[in-house]
Amino acid sequence: MTEPRNPGMSSAPQVNPAHAESSSPAVEMDPVEYTLRKRLPRKLPKRRNDVYVNMKTDFRAQLARCQKLLEGGGHREICIHGLGLAINRAINIALQLQTSSQGALQLAANTSTVELVDDLEPEDPDEAGEPMTRTRNNSAIHIKVFYPEP
């Protein structure tokens, strides 16, 4: 299996046309003949107080969930994680939590890089196309929202 490594951060399958015409058959990629499937991110830590923010769930629901954990759930700290586009939303949630707590909550943000894997599957199995995978990187944020120790 070939694994052409795509160091770019773009999420779309950027297939360079010049690339496709190149003579080397191993790198040949015709965008028409492949379907791109994005795999899920790798296994993630999941505690009760981990919140993974996405762009599909309603923003208010995610904010309310965090508030509930902090107020009703009795957690002194929660971790809000966001990947890629959801980074913005994660930051927004964290800042709104902090604002609505009148400064009682503190934020500690960490950033990281997550390696993501895309599968390229040939559309037509009769063609010679090999299934391929590509890895790319995306940025992520992990925000610890906590009540500081007195």
Partner 1 sequence: MKGPAPLRGLSPLFLSLPLNHTDTPPVSICEAAPVPYVSSWRTEPTSQSITEDELGLQGRRPSCRPPPQLQPMPKREGFKKVCRTEEESPCPFPGLPSGVLEMRVKEGSKIRNLMGFAMARMQGEKAGSGEGASSAGLRQVVFTGSGRAVTKTITCAEIMKRKVGCLHQLTKLQYKVVKEVWESDQGGASEMTVHRTVPSISILLSKDPLDPREPGYQPPEALSALWEDKDGAEPAAPTCKRPHVAASHSSFLQPKRLCLGEGVSVLPPH
Instruction: List contacts with partner 1 (CB under 8 A).
Output: 9, 11, 38-50, 52, 54, 56, 58-60, 63, 76-77, 79, 83-85, 87-89, 91-92, 94-96, 99-100, 106-116, 137-144, 149
20: part of which helix (H) or strand (E)?
helix 17-21
Cβ closest to partner 1, residue 2 vs residue 98: 98
Using an 8 Å Cβ cutoff, are 86 and 117 in contact? no
Least distance from partner 1 to the Cβ atom of residue 28, Å: 26
Q: How far apart are the first and last CA of the chain?
A: 56
- Contact between 52 and 81 under an 8 Å Cβ cutoff? The reply is yes
Backbone angles phi, psi at 91, to 5 degrees: -65, -40
Cα–Cα distance measured from residue 86 to residue 13, given in angstroms and rounded to the nearest whole number: 20
Report the chain's C-alpha Rg in angstroms: 20
Considering the complex, state which of residue 29 and residue 140 has its C-beta at the smaller distance from partner 1: 140
Minimum CB separation from partner 1 for residue 127, in Å?
26
Give the distance between the most distant pair of CA atoms in the chain.
Answer: 67
In the bound complex, what is the minimum distance in angstroms from residue 2's beta carbon to partner 1? 23
Q: For partner 1, which is the closer residue by CB, 26 or 108? A: 108
Q: Of 14 and 137, which has the nearer Cβ to partner 1?
A: 137
Q: Which is nearer to partner 1, 5 or 48 (CB)?
A: 48
Q: Where are the alpha helices (DSSP H) in 27-136?
A: 59-71, 86-100
Please state the closest distance from residue 51 (CB atom) to partner 1, in A.
9
What is the smallest separation between the CB atom of 128 and partner 1, expressed in angstroms?
Answer: 28
